[in-house]
Amino acid sequence: MVAQPYQQPEFLQQLEQVEALLAGPEVEKISEGADAVYRVRLNYQGQTLDVAVKRFARQSLLKDWYDHAITSKAERSFVAADYLLAHGVATPQPVAFLDCWQGKRLVESYYLSVFQPADSFREHLSDVLWNVRDNDAIMPLLETLAPAVRAMHDAGFAHQDMGNQNILMPKNADGTLAQPQFIDLNRGRVYPSVTNRQRAFDISRLMLPGEYLKFFLFIYCHHQDVPPELARWERRYRRRFARHQRTRRWRHPLRSLKQWLTGQVPKHQRFYPPLRDLWVWDEKSAQAMIVLSKAEKNRVRSKTHTLSMFWRTLCAAPAVYRRYTQLMRQSFSQPVELDGRIGVALHPHLDYIPAELELLDELGNPPVLLRFCHHESEQLWDGTIDLINQLHSRGVSIMVAFVQDRQALLEPDSWRALLEKVIPQIADKVDDIEIGHAINRVKWGLWRARDYVALLEPALALQARFPGIRLTGPACIDFEYAYVVSALQVLPAQAQLAALSHHLYVDRRGHPENPQGRFSTLEKCALLRAIAQWSPRTEDRVIVSEVNWPVKGTSVWSPVGAGYESPEGRRNPPGVDEDEYADYMLRYYTLALCSGHVDRVYWWRLSAHGYGLVDDRDNWRRRPAFTALGFLLRTLEGATFIARHEANDSVYLMEFARGNTRILMAWTTEDHCEYWPSFEHDQVLDSMGQVSERRQLSGSPLYLVRSGEV
């Protein structure tokens, strides 16, 4: 059968010589395998027409009998393509199918379509996962592909062989993705309605990391919840296909033996990085993406590492607990000078620096933290070094953090090169240098505690050349202190950290006094300090080098909604509103520092739409937290924390002295509180520094001031 536009004598004569055409010198073979695909140039209406010719291999007699009773693969491909185009689903324009039968034996079979010069979804995804490693390059693929798959199914067509290689992703003239085109249609079937089970079978053939598969399903379902039946069948078919892949060597022993002898990677494994090496950056939330599902993580996680980590923690627990109980009794009992303890992180990208320096001036130039990310460019590193020089000339206290990706471990020379480029230029200008980032989160590229040692070793070598530098770590995140203990125990004997630095998030939805089990912010800080006192590998200092709350309603810019905002995320947005954000920030700083357990806290970040003190997507709008922090810094400049006054468990009364001035910072965790402190005062100021007539405590701290004005 030849499509109507091509039923011309000259064109038909070329098709009659298809075998000779495929043997021509200008023919390009574009697909290997039994069913090979060729690119052939044919004459059509006085011009050259590029045609893709799929030559189907000779089959068994049983398959020939089946095709004779039904239709050949070539004919099924032609009919399916014609059906899809008629229903608005893209596929390369069918030209013809050619079958040659001898009785019930199919001797030759070809399917011809207009050649589409486009990479497949497999090639696009492979390039992103190997080279680009950026979420902004993956999501457009999913947002283009998922609606196209949905449209195909809604049109009544089930592909039944929808691997990544069978979806072409052409581009428009401006470089954006055009409508995907489905190929290799011979297994497809037309149904009055494609069931969830049939849809699930198609989707299960897509190779996507677990979290991105979740995003795909949400988009496929019109950004709504995935029907349980569809999700259940998809998981079942995916597990079945995985078993099929694992048994390949037993089903094809000779081919597998040949691959083993030649060292050739099996075809189904060569296109994407191993699960352990997947690493994707998300610039909107400024963090690595969660790429793998929980099942995928468990599949490649080292059980030996997990057992050894908990064994080390168990051995350390008695000594740490003794220190912890002593520290808890000492909480809020010692004077704490507040100068230089309240810090904030900057975003040292070149287009941010002028605005952030102005904002920093407004805050009074508190201590700052700057990051060097391994995955970023040398241009950005140079810009950050220049910024450090500027800040140092202003007398600003500086801490830097070196953030790894998976390539830092796969290519250790490149990680060493980053440290050797930067540290010699900043060694005499910074207070502390944090090595590693969230090492207990596999999305950041580390799978065991000894990976942290690999990151630290080049820094230790530089410390021998620059004895003045103060290294901190192990920079774990959240209340997972078993990782902290384990990382400290595997450090080499010559390692001596100047402080235990940690990313201490408490409860991203609730207030900082919220307990996690028996541990609120206070208890977590005390336990962290106890670990620092227990370990011979670090000095008795604790730095919280990252903390924030996500701002509600910031979608994919929120650190807890990174990559894609799920249907549940839209119904129940994670995070807190801007007023709560300001209140929680003040309370966190106060609890952590005045407890006496933490030496310095850096807020992440000065400017960011999803979690910053300033909204960088809203004309650098100062959020309430920015004003509140500025007032806190001015109020506590030169001040000393004296004591926490006794009250009920939900009321916090923190007294500070600044010369002859006494300041009581007061708040409650209750929604309604009748308590009012008996502290003598001349004026009451709210968290923004404005005179307040309020005489009832709430979650927003008040400042009661005596003997002088702020």
Residue 646, in any domain of the structure: no
pLDDT confidence of residue 710: 47
CB burial of residue 589 (10 Å; 0-12, 13-18, 19+): buried
The rounded Cα 707 to chain-centroid distance in angstroms is 51
Q: Which residues contact 314 (CB under 8 A, 6 or more apart)?
A: none
* Residue from 612, 557, 629 nearest 346 by CA: 612
Structural domain count, the chain: 4
Residues 109 and 139 in one domain: no
Residues 42 and 181 in one domain: no
Query: Rounded to whole angstroms, what are the CA distances from 504 to 372, 402, 471, 604?
Result: 20, 18, 18, 11
CB burial of residue 131 (10 Å; 0-12, 13-18, 19+): exposed
pLDDT confidence of residue 107: 83
Residues 433 and 483 in one domain: yes
- Are the beta carbons of 367 and 600 closer than 8 angstroms? yes
Residues 625 and 551 in one domain: yes
For residue 444, what are its two tokens? 């950041």
Residues 618 and 664 in one domain: no
Residue 690, in any domain of the structure: yes
For residue 355, what are its two tokens? 């605005």
What are 164-185's pLDDT values in tens digits?
999 999 999 999 999 999 999 9
Of 83, 114, 145, the residue at which a domain comes to its end is 114
* Rg of the chain (C-alpha set): 32
CATH code of residue 93: 3.30.200.20
Residues forming a β-bridge with 551: 576
Residue 230, in any domain of the structure: yes
Residue 288, in any domain of the structure: no
Residues 675 and 628 in one domain: no
Residues 595 and 449 in one domain: yes
Residue 644, in any domain of the structure: no
Residues 221 and 320 in one domain: no
For residue 635, what are its two tokens? 């109020």
Phi first, then psi, for residue 355 (nearest 5°) are -65, -40
Give CA–CA dist 538/533, Å, rounded: 8
pLDDT confidence of residue 70: 77
Task: Give residue 91's domain range.
Answer: 4-114
Give CA–CA dist 507/408, Å, rounded: 30
Residue 272, amino acid = Y
Residues 228 and 313 in one domain: no
Strands (E), 12-118: 28-31, 36-44, 47-55, 94-102, 105-114
Query: What DSSP letter does each residue of 433-467 carry, written as one string?
Result: EEE-S-TT-GGGT--SHHHHHHHHHHHHHHHHH-T
Residues 327 and 181 in one domain: no
pLDDT confidence of residue 57: 83
- Are the beta carbons of 631 and 367 closer than 8 angstroms? no
Give the pairing of strands 342-345 and 368-373: parallel
Residues 310 and 258 in one domain: no
Residue 227, in any domain of the structure: yes
Residue numbers of the chain with a pLDDT score lower than 50: 709-710
- Are the beta carbons of 289 and 214 closer than 8 angstroms? no
Residue 284, in any domain of the structure: no
Residues forming a β-bridge with 33: none
pLDDT confidence of residue 265: 63
Residue 285, in any domain of the structure: no
Give CA–CA dist 568/573, Å, rounded: 8
pLDDT confidence of residue 673: 87
Residues of the chain with pLDDT > 70: what percent?
95
For residue 358, what are its two tokens? 């102005």
- Are the beta carbons of 155 and 209 closer than 8 angstroms? no
- Are the beta carbons of 453 and 489 closer than 8 angstroms? no
Of 633, 659, 683, the residue at which a domain comes to its end is 633
Residues 103 and 132 in one domain: no
CATH code of residue 431: 3.20.20.80
Query: Rounded to whole angstroms, what are the CA distances from 459 to 411, 424, 474, 538?
Result: 16, 11, 13, 15
Of 114, 145, 174, the residue at which a domain comes to its end is 114
Helix residue ranges per DSSP H, 271-411 = 294-300, 303-330, 353-363, 378-394, 406-410
Query: What DSSP letter does each residue of 602-617 carry, written as one string?
Result: EES-SB-TTT-SEETT
